[in-house]
Amino acid sequence: METGDQVLDRVLAEPLLPTGIGPLDDLLEGGISRTMVTLLIGSAKVNAQILQQFATLAAVRLCQANLTMQKTILYIDGANRFNPYEISRLSINQGVGAKEVLDAIMVSRAFSWSNMVQTVAENLENASAKQIDLLVVSGFTKYFEEMAQTPSTENSPPHLVMKPFEELGKMFAGLKRLQAKFNTRILLSTVPHSKSLRSPAGGTKLKHFANVILRMLPSPRGFTYYLDQHPFLPAKQITVNIPPTGLRDLTHKTLDQFFLNK
């Protein structure tokens, strides 16, 4: 058996994987942990950009370490925003061939709540013969409120009212099995709850499941990143201001260039 202090030391000894997004890595003091589930709350469009950049950098590292025959990255696209051309461009910027990086990323589409439930709750463990080194899920609970708060809910039988919550629990179980099997890093993204910018779609149940919770919201002059929850880091925030004079020149910039106005 281990003491609590020994468990913490083991967690801290696990190397972090940088997201490539400066403010997020600063908040997390390095990047995404392999031992914790990280949840990112924000707009679907910006979340997808962040997840694609993170998945690309992770794939580049696998390619550079010659590990693509043993390990893979799984990208579940519930926001319908995965862009292979963006992945290719980011790969070339990192000095690695686009095809090699794209081959290291497996993509699964989820066009509805039932698609997402089936993929995460039932198919994760057998998605690949290789070790799933990183799982990123874009739009994890994008359709949850639509299922949980339909106009017919008041007149629906109790088992139908509770069904989305039960399915969310099944997805959590699928994520836990994947992490136990492969020691997989997991980054989930979702949109804010319709009634609260601090909570995710999926509500308290999802907040309790995630170990680390990050938010990204527009601020008057740019963006503010929040670390709302972490097992051993304090809540904090970082605001990135974008000079107004450079906005017209940022159309085809990377996220780093966008935030730094390069």
Task: Say if residue 170's pLDDT is above 70.
Answer: yes
User: Residue ranges of the domains in the chain?
Assistant: 18-260
Residue 41 contacts residue 192 (beta carbons within 8 Å): yes
How does pLDDT run across 98-138, given as a tens digit for each residue? Answer: 999 999 999 999 999 999 999 999 999 889 999 999 999 99
Mean predicted confidence (pLDDT) in 50-62: 96
Residue 75 contacts residue 107 (beta carbons within 8 Å): yes
pTM (2 d.p.): 0.86
Identify the architecture of domain 18-260 in CATH: 3-Layer(aba) Sandwich (3.40)
Q: At what angle do helices 44-64 and 84-93 cross, to 10 degrees?
A: 50
Task: Say if residue 22's pLDDT is above 80.
Answer: yes
Q: Does residue 161 or residue 82 have the better pLDDT?
A: 82
Number of H helices, E strands in the chain: 10, 10
Share of the chain above pLDDT 90, in %: 66
pLDDT for the residue numbered 81: 92
Task: Please list, in sequence order, all residues whose beta carbon lies within 8 angstroms of the beta carbon of residue 207, skipping any fewer than 6 positions away.
Answer: 39, 199, 200, 213, 229
pLDDT for the residue numbered 159: 46
Residue 72 CA to residue 213 CA, distance in Å, equals 25
Residue 82 CA to residue 80 CA, distance in Å, equals 6
Mean predicted confidence (pLDDT) in 6-12: 75
Whole-number CA gyration radius for the chain: 19
